[in-house]
Structure 1
Amino acid sequence: MRVYLPATIAMLSELSSSGEFLPVNGTAFAVTPALREFYTSGSTEELEYAALLEAARASLRLIASERDLADEQTPVRTRRVVVSADLDDVTVRSDLDDAVVRLSGSVPMTSVAAVHVDTAEAESAVSVAAEVVDSADLGDQDAELALGDVEDHELAWYAPQEVPFLLELM
């Protein structure tokens, strides 16, 4: 199953150096039966894109969390990151949300199909959205607009072997 793992630049750097990705709480997103049911029409590609966007929104929460834990000497990169991987050991968790799945362990680099990362142009929108993502979930209209602004930015696609070069250029 293709899964979409929310991440940050720091987590992507760890994947690059260690060769494995440890998803936070084992959480990922995928095309689940509940997601298919929610979108009464749409191709598999469109449903995969919906799952990718859910992971991108979760990436905003991870960025916000990194900011909360960071000190002044450690800047937090404000780009959404989604790691796409092909895995067999996936548990659907529709009780949490339509696209949520749980993984039982780490994801080896050999299972990574692609990495999706915001471009530099998106950084200011990502920064704002990371601050208000929880408020948007609670119905704040201004926060929803900020999320809409960040979602106007498409994530760039990178092959797994390009990740070290991407990180070096940042």
Structure 2
Amino acid sequence: MTIRAYLPTTLALLAEQHAEGHVVVTDDVVIATEDDEESEYDALMTAADASAALLPGPGRRVVVVAELDKAPEPGWTIPLKRVVAVHADTEDRPAGADPDDDLGWFATQEIPFLL
């Protein structure tokens, strides 16, 4: 059984980690509690809220999704080959934007275009 981990980040941090070939697990990692669509959506939106908190002002929420064999711990590095998708706002969000706005879905090969 695989575990789906949702890693909140920013475009700037994603660019650094993409160049290094891995993403870093932080304390804000969110794990889907069940293997169903509702649980995964809840985990995604919780991670999106954490991503918004990382922004110094207007910007894009970014959530990296990885499939792992066990729950990750802060400080772990996850190789990009374990990343299955990136969810991000398609444009910068103004201050006070609706926190429930959906994120766009990007395949891993689209990360350079997102950056």
Under a length normalisation based on structure 2, what TM-score does the superposition of the two structures give?
A: 0.86
Does the 8 Å CA contact 2:61/2:89 hold for their aligned counterparts? yes
* Deviation for aligned residue 1:12: 1.2
- The aligned counterpart of 1:119 is 90
Residue 31 (structure 1) shift: 2.0
Q: Do structure 1's residue 155 and structure 2's residue 113 form an aligned pair? A: no
Write out aligned runs for 1:85-100 (5 A): 85-90=66-71
Structure 1 unaligned spans of 5+: 37-42, 68-75, 92-101, 130-145
Unaligned stretches of 5+ in structure 2?
none
Normalised TM-score (structure 1)? 0.60
- Aligned-residue sequence identity (percent) comes to 42
Indicate which of 10, 13, 32 corresponds to 2:12.
10
When the two chains are superposed, the root-mean-square deviation of aligned CA atoms in Å is 2.1
Structure richer in strand, relative to its length = 2
Cα separation, 2, equivalents of 1:118 and 1:111: 22
Please report how far the alpha carbon of residue 114 of structure 1 lies from its aligned counterpart in structure 2 after TM superposition.
0.1
Match of 1:31 in 2: 32
Q: Which has the larger radius of gyration?
A: 1
